[in-house]
A and B are shown apart, each in its own frame.
Chain A
Amino acid sequence: MTGYILKRLVSAIPVLLGISVIVFLIMAMIPGDPATAILGSYATPENVEKLNRDLGLDQGLVPRYFIWLGNMMQGDFGRSFALNRPVIDEVLDRFGATLILAGTSFVLCSILGIAAGVVSAARQYGFADKAITFVVLLGISIPSFFLGMMMILLFAVRLKWFPVSGMWPIYGDRNFWVLLDHLAMPAIALSVVATGVIARLARSAMLEVLRQDFIRTARAKGVRESRVIWRHALRAAMVSIIPILGIQAGFVLSGAVYIEMVFQWPGVGRMLVDAILKRDILLVQGGVVFIAACYVMFNIMVDVAQALLDPRIKT
């Protein structure tokens, strides 16, 4: 297994390089003089010239890429001009908040989605199946940002169950329960679409598995139906559900951008949007590369989980 993990890690290197190339090329599309774009139109000519030198903008595309890559390898993602601090510091500060939000949502949508899919398949065409199918359709059709706004109206403004927005209260303690109170609504709003998608795919994966011969074998052994469904069938269905979870993690991370805007959550998504509006190019560039790299690592974890679950995969 260790060998397999190492192999997957090594295979991630070209992907990470590819990601850096793509981000670099996109940023090279910036029309006009990048240094002016980065520093804004009020920059002094000296500053522009200095930045041009620092970024190697006076050189060709290829050397520029390697300068940038070399800097990143040393942890230097450049400096945010709007915030006047190193990009990596800002990204790391914000990343924790996103991780809490997206991580909670991911756990929520995985558990709820799989459970709903299994129940739906086991009760195919029954009341539970129809009810779940309908709720799922509604869930995958509602834009998460609109859902978030409606939740604020209902649960924060009308019912006053949860705070309207933010991660921490302006005054007062910062403990786990306070965080949970603030986290509940954004985490649920963010997980709804992914829950629906996972539920649908889990349902069809379960239906596929329940028709297999080994399910009949389990029943012929006299195994309880609940065990047939939740152990025999689900275990086999997980083989096709796990990759879906990996893909959905990317969607949860993407959706976090909207949810962070709606709920004023201090995460990287909101940071990126603010940075784009302020034309803080280096912050965008660094943030995108950093999160994409994290996502690649997460997918390696998904692959490892898959290998642990399915002994037929050659490790």
Chain B
Amino acid sequence: MMAFLKLLARNRLALAGLIVIWIVVFLALITPLLPLADPDVTDTPNRFKAPFSEGAVLGTDHLGRDLLSRLMWGTRLSLAMGVAAAIIAATLGSAIGIIAGYFGGRTDNIIMRGVDMLMAFPYILLALAIVAALGPGLMNALFAVAAVNVPFFARNIRGITVGVAHKEFVDAVRLAGMRDSEIILREVLPNVLPVIVIGMSTTVGWMILETAGLSFLGLGSQPPQADLGSMLGEARSALITNPHTSIVPGAMILIIVMGINLLGDGVRDALDPRLKSGALSRPMPATEVDRRETTRAQTDSLLDIAGLQTEFRVRNRVYKAVGGVDLHVEKGECLGIIGESGSGKSVTALSVMGLVASPPGVITGGAVHFDGDDIIGAKYEVLRSLRGRRVAYIFQDPLATLHPLYKIGDQLIEAIQTHETISKSAARSRAIDLLKSVRIPNAENRIDSYPHEMSGGMRQRVGIAMALANDPDVIIADEPTTALDVTVQAQILSVLNDLRRERGLAILFITHDFGVVGQLCDRVAVMYAGKIVEEGPTDAVLRNPQHPYTSRLIDCVPTLGGGQRKLAAIPGLPPVVDRLPDGCAFADRCDKVQMECRSGAIDLAATAPARKTRCLFPENTQEASA
């Protein structure tokens, strides 16, 4: 509760709303004690006195009544009506909702049908019908507004009750023989009460507005008694000649409703945990770059990543997801990046084209040279013209990564037309060819399917076809086979392998599966806690892993027919990347750890031709050099 209040206090607008409401409510409460003129005494000779005139601070109305006094009494009445309507609606609605939700079955069905019927009305029609039947008047308007809002509470509270009524503790007391009415009062009600209170606080502003509205129409409070709505309604005929009589009550309604809205927004933000984590912020078109220095390319490869650093800034914590990665891929080569979830392999891949979600992602160092130019920090238009045209991506879950509401054909055609001026029909026939090239049977018909109409394997083929649309030089595949079963996975890999050979594609293949690496990749880089810990030709690394982490990772892979071997899970978890230890990040999980491992940065050192390892005590060095 205190945390909630603190959060609320941090939101300055909500605080302002709260203060405004406190002041208005306080003034309304002490109105009878204030030295105000009688609000109902008419004084026609002094009608329509302007504001700030003597004896009437806010002037007088069309019958010469003191506006300030009427405003205060009217506010008091409006607030009381709004609160009363909210309480009545909440009580009735919650009772209905609890009964429907608790008993369920037929009772629930009948009640909720009725509630749905009530919700089928534009709310004011219902209120007007009730007032028409009961006759205009303060209490009838109050009842009408409350009745109209009953369905809202009934529906919400029913939902919560259904959840509570099937919890274990309710079952337990029921088995203990407690009666239904007792269970509802002692077990269910305390659990739904907070929701009722929140519902009331969010609707009270609305109720004030609605009761004022009915009074404005002349259907609520009757003269001489006046709430803010009927004050405004009476002043309407003198709107043009004496606008102050309208502005005074209207401005008060505005102030009250605005205060309640400000507070309500603050409460909502404080209660919505998604806003706290910052998860509701949208990613910008390209990842933010905040580099202190640039790094020169280390090779003249097609794609050269040098000293890349990417971090996530969430509130005041910094997660160094990628902590200085060097990689390069040649034309026609396939480089695998392997590592556990959270090792930074995907972030590395997404950083290349600035696709790391930002906020919270920021590229803070290093460089990515593509075809000789550094593309980190390049202008957005430069980046955009490279994306898809020369560097294309294949993502993991094709159900989430394809647009669910566009036909796959239209998505392929868009990929083509984004980078090339070409007629729609020509693009369409190209799209069909692309689908054929990834071995989608019946491509002419399949092109008009929606993603949800295809199987996982077929969808991933579409993802690959889309990546190939503009004949790119590099394909970055971010776990493209992870969501697929093994036979489909093999097919996809063979499609990729063939394309690589036919088109001379460079592939950066991110995975956590050594089997996949072995099938497809020429070289492999092993990542741990945001750094490359070992790199080398695939066969050599798989046969003679040098970093203890690599060998432990390989030991985790079950092999067919290897039933006798004990699977060795790695004890412990990878370190959290906002608190990386000094020295080797794997030290805590390594069984060969020495004192030296825990101090100072460890370099990625060459241990054999074309092999590098970030370890002070590498394994298997003899065999590798032999």
Cβ of A145 within 8 Å of any chain B Cβ, yes or no, is yes
Give the residue name and chain of the A residue nearest to B261 (CB). A141
User: How many residues of chain A are within 8 Å of chain B by beta carbon?
Assistant: 85
Give the residue name and chain of the A residue nearest to B247 (CB). A150
| B250 and A235 within 8 A (CB) | no
| A236 and B403 within 8 A (CB) | yes
Partner of B355, one of A27, A216, A281: A216
Partner of A312, one of B254, B258, B404: B404
Cβ of B114 within 8 Å of any chain A Cβ, yes or no, is yes
Q: Which of B120-151 contact A (CB under 8 A)?
A: 120-126, 128-136
Give the chain B neighbours of A272 by CB distance below 8 A.
Answer: 125, 128, 132
Contact string, B385-419, partner A, CB cutoff 8 A, digits 1/0? 11111001101010011111110000000110011
Q: How far is the CA of A14 from the CA of B113 in the complex (A)?
A: 10
Stretch from A106-114, A167-175, A205-213 forming part of the interface with B: A205-213
Stretch from A69-77, A87-95, A252-260 forming part of the interface with B: A252-260
Q: How far is the CA of A86 from the CA of B542 in the complex (A)?
A: 90
Given A153-B243, A220-B387, A221-B415: A137 in contact with B258 (beta carbons within 8 A): yes
Partner of A18, one of B114, B130, B404: B114
Contact string, B434-452, partner A, CB cutoff 8 A, digits 1/0? 0000000000000000101
Cβ of A23 within 8 Å of any chain B Cβ, yes or no, is yes
| A31 and B134 within 8 A (CB) | yes
CB distance from B120 to the nearest CB of A (A): 5
Q: How far is the CA of A28 from the CA of B279 in the complex (A)?
A: 52
Q: Which of B118, B121, B452, B466 has its CB near the most chain A CB atoms (within 10 A)? A: B121
CB distance from A223 to the nearest CB of B (A): 5
CB distance from A276 to the nearest CB of B (A): 5
Cβ of B58 within 8 Å of any chain A Cβ, yes or no, is no
Cβ of A228 within 8 Å of any chain B Cβ, yes or no, is yes
Cβ of B217 within 8 Å of any chain A Cβ, yes or no, is yes
Q: Which of A120-146 contact B (CB under 8 A)?
A: 121-122, 124-125, 137-138, 140-143, 145-146
Give the chain A neighbours of B116 by CB distance below 8 A.
Answer: 15, 18
Cβ of A58 within 8 Å of any chain B Cβ, yes or no, is no
| A210 and B124 within 8 A (CB) | no
Given A213-B400, A219-B285: A146 in contact with B254 (beta carbons within 8 A): yes
Cβ of B109 within 8 Å of any chain A Cβ, yes or no, is no
| A214 and B129 within 8 A (CB) | no
| A149 and B125 within 8 A (CB) | no
Cβ of B308 within 8 Å of any chain A Cβ, yes or no, is no
Give the residue name and chain of the B residue nearest to A291 (CB). B125
Cβ of A30 within 8 Å of any chain B Cβ, yes or no, is yes
- Interface SS, B side: helix
Q: Which of B350-369 contact A (CB under 8 A)?
A: 353, 355, 357
Q: Which of B205-251 contact A (CB under 8 A)?
A: 209, 212-213, 216-219, 232, 236, 239-240, 243, 246-247, 250
| B283 and A232 within 8 A (CB) | no
Q: How far is the CA of A311 from the CA of B418 in the complex (A)?
A: 24
Q: How far is the CA of A122 from the CA of B132 in the complex (A)?
A: 47
Q: How far is the CA of A309 from the CA of B405 in the complex (A)?
A: 8
Q: Which of A219, A239, A288 has its CB near the most chain B CB atoms (within 10 A)? A: A219
| B254 and A141 within 8 A (CB) | yes
Give the residue name and chain of the B residue nearest to A217 (CB). B401
| A214 and B254 within 8 A (CB) | no
Cβ of B176 within 8 Å of any chain A Cβ, yes or no, is no
CB distance from B112 to the nearest CB of A (A): 12
CB distance from A54 to the nearest CB of B (A): 19
Partner of B283, one of A137, A216, A221: A216
| B136 and A214 within 8 A (CB) | no
Cβ of B21 within 8 Å of any chain A Cβ, yes or no, is no
CB distance from A105 to the nearest CB of B (A): 13
| B282 and A124 within 8 A (CB) | yes
Partner of B282, one of A14, A15, A206: A206
Given A250-B122, A292-B125: A143 in contact with B387 (beta carbons within 8 A): no
Partner of B387, one of A121, A222, A239, A250: A222
Cβ of B165 within 8 Å of any chain A Cβ, yes or no, is no
| A251 and B117 within 8 A (CB) | no
Contact string, A18-33, partner B, CB cutoff 8 A, digits 1/0? 1101110011111100
Cβ of B384 within 8 Å of any chain A Cβ, yes or no, is yes
Give the residue name and chain of the A residue nearest to B383 (CB). A222
Q: How far is the CA of A63 from the CA of B415 in the complex (A)?
A: 66
Cβ of A190 within 8 Å of any chain B Cβ, yes or no, is no
Give the residue name and chain of the B residue nearest to A218 (CB). B403
Give the residue name and chain of the B residue nearest to A252 (CB). B122
Cβ of A277 within 8 Å of any chain B Cβ, yes or no, is yes
Cβ of B533 within 8 Å of any chain A Cβ, yes or no, is no
| A220 and B355 within 8 A (CB) | yes
Given A146-B253, A284-B129: A211 in contact with B136 (beta carbons within 8 A): no
Q: How far is the CA of A138 from the CA of B254 in the complex (A)?
A: 9
Give the chain A neighbours of B357 by CB distance below 8 A.
Answer: 211, 216
Q: How far is the CA of A288 from the CA of B570 in the complex (A)?
A: 71
Give the residue name and chain of the B residue nearest to A276 (CB). B132
| B121 and A207 within 8 A (CB) | no
Q: How far is the CA of A204 from the CA of B268 in the complex (A)?
A: 13
Contact string, B255-282, partner A, CB cutoff 8 A, digits 1/0? 0011001100100000000000001111
| A18 and B128 within 8 A (CB) | no
| B114 and A141 within 8 A (CB) | no
Q: How far is the CA of A23 from the CA of B132 in the complex (A)?
A: 11
Give the residue name and chain of the A residue nearest to B130 (CB). A26
Give the chain B neighbours of A15 by CB distance below 8 A.
Answer: 116-117, 120
Q: How far is the CA of A273 from the CA of B141 in the complex (A)?
A: 13
| A225 and B285 within 8 A (CB) | yes
Partner of A213, one of B280, B401, B450: B401
Q: How far is the CA of A167 from the CA of B481 in the complex (A)?
A: 65
Give the chain B neighbours of A162 by CB distance below 8 A.
Answer: none
Give the chain B neighbours of A19 by CB distance below 8 A.
Answer: 117, 120-121
Partner of A30, one of B133, B353, B400: B133
| B261 and A137 within 8 A (CB) | yes
Q: How far is the CA of A39 from the CA of B91 in the complex (A)?
A: 37
CB distance from B291 to the nearest CB of A (A): 21
Give the residue name and chain of the B residue nearest to A206 (CB). B282
Cβ of A183 within 8 Å of any chain B Cβ, yes or no, is no
Q: How far is the CA of A21 from the CA of B239 in the complex (A)?
A: 41
Q: How far is the CA of A215 from the CA of B355 in the complex (A)?
A: 10
| A23 and B134 within 8 A (CB) | no
| A222 and B133 within 8 A (CB) | no
Q: How far is the CA of A63 from the CA of B406 in the complex (A)?
A: 54
| A143 and B253 within 8 A (CB) | yes
Give the chain A neighbours of B117 by CB distance below 8 A.
Answer: 15, 18-19, 21-22
| A216 and B401 within 8 A (CB) | yes
Give the residue name and chain of the A residue nearest to B148 (CB). A254
CB distance from B136 to the nearest CB of A (A): 7
Given A145-B232, A214-B402, A312-B450: A221 in contact with B123 (beta carbons within 8 A): no
Given A207-B282, A218-B403, A220-B355: A284 in contact with B132 (beta carbons within 8 A): yes
- Known contacts A221-B392, A221-B466, A311-B452; 11 further A-B pairs (Cβ under 8 A): A18-B114, A18-B120, A21-B117, A124-B281, A157-B240, A213-B401, A223-B414, A261-B217, A262-B236, A276-B128, A311-B450
Chain A to chain B contacts (Cβ below 8 Å), 30 pairs: A15-B116, A15-B120, A18-B113, A19-B117, A146-B246, A146-B250, A149-B246, A150-B250, A153-B240, A153-B243, A204-B280, A208-B280, A214-B400, A217-B466, A220-B355, A221-B415, A221-B466, A222-B384, A224-B418, A225-B285, A236-B403, A239-B405, A254-B123, A255-B124, A281-B132, A288-B125, A292-B125, A296-B120, A299-B120, A311-B450
Q: B-contacting residues of A (Cβ < 8 Å)?
A: 14-15, 18-19, 21-23, 26-31, 121-122, 124-125, 137-138, 140-143, 145-146, 149-150, 152-153, 157, 164, 204, 206-208, 210-225, 228, 232, 235-236, 239, 250-251, 253-255, 257-258, 261-262, 269, 272-273, 275-277, 279, 281, 284-285, 288, 291-292, 295-296, 299, 309-312
